[in-house]
Amino acid sequence: MGAYYDEIEIEDMVWDAEKRVYHYPCPCGDRFEITRSQLADCEDIATCPSCSLVIRVIYDPLDYEDVSEEEESTSEDEDDVESNDEHFDDAMEKLSLTDEAD
Ligand SMILES: [Zn+2]
């Protein structure tokens, strides 16, 4: 416990959009890394792949709890999610024909 090299706020880490990790420079020349899904799992230890140092990341887990999958934020569909694409195309056509007040 408490054997961290440092405690770093998530705001001070750099987001790598390609590797999809937050990183922070390690004194060994490599860098500490932590993924968003680790954050979503309430994991707060960023590790360096080249040495045994770790840092503790200071962040609010609530900001990350729903990002573990992809960033799908539009979940207004109730049950027919699968036919949604088709339905959308149909709806586009119908839209010009009638005004379907269901
Ligand atoms: Zn290191």
Q: Is the pTM of this model over 0.85?
A: no
How open is the CA angle 51-54-59, to the nearest 5 degrees? 150
68 near 41, Cβ under 8 Å? yes
> pLDDT tens, 1-38?
458 999 999 999 999 999 999 999 999 999 999 999 99
Q: What is the distance in A from the centroid of ligand 1 to the CA of 63?
A: 27
Q: What is the distance in A from the centroid of ligand 1 to the CA of 32?
A: 7
Half-sphere exposure of 3 (CA within 13 A, CB side): 4
CA distances in angstroms from 36 to 21, 43, 44, 96, listed in the order given: 6, 9, 10, 43
Q: How many CB atoms lie within 10 A of CB 5?
A: 18
> pLDDT tens, 33-79?
999 999 999 999 999 999 999 999 999 988 887 654 554 444 454 45
Q: What is the distance in A from the centroid of ligand 1 to the CA of 66?
A: 30
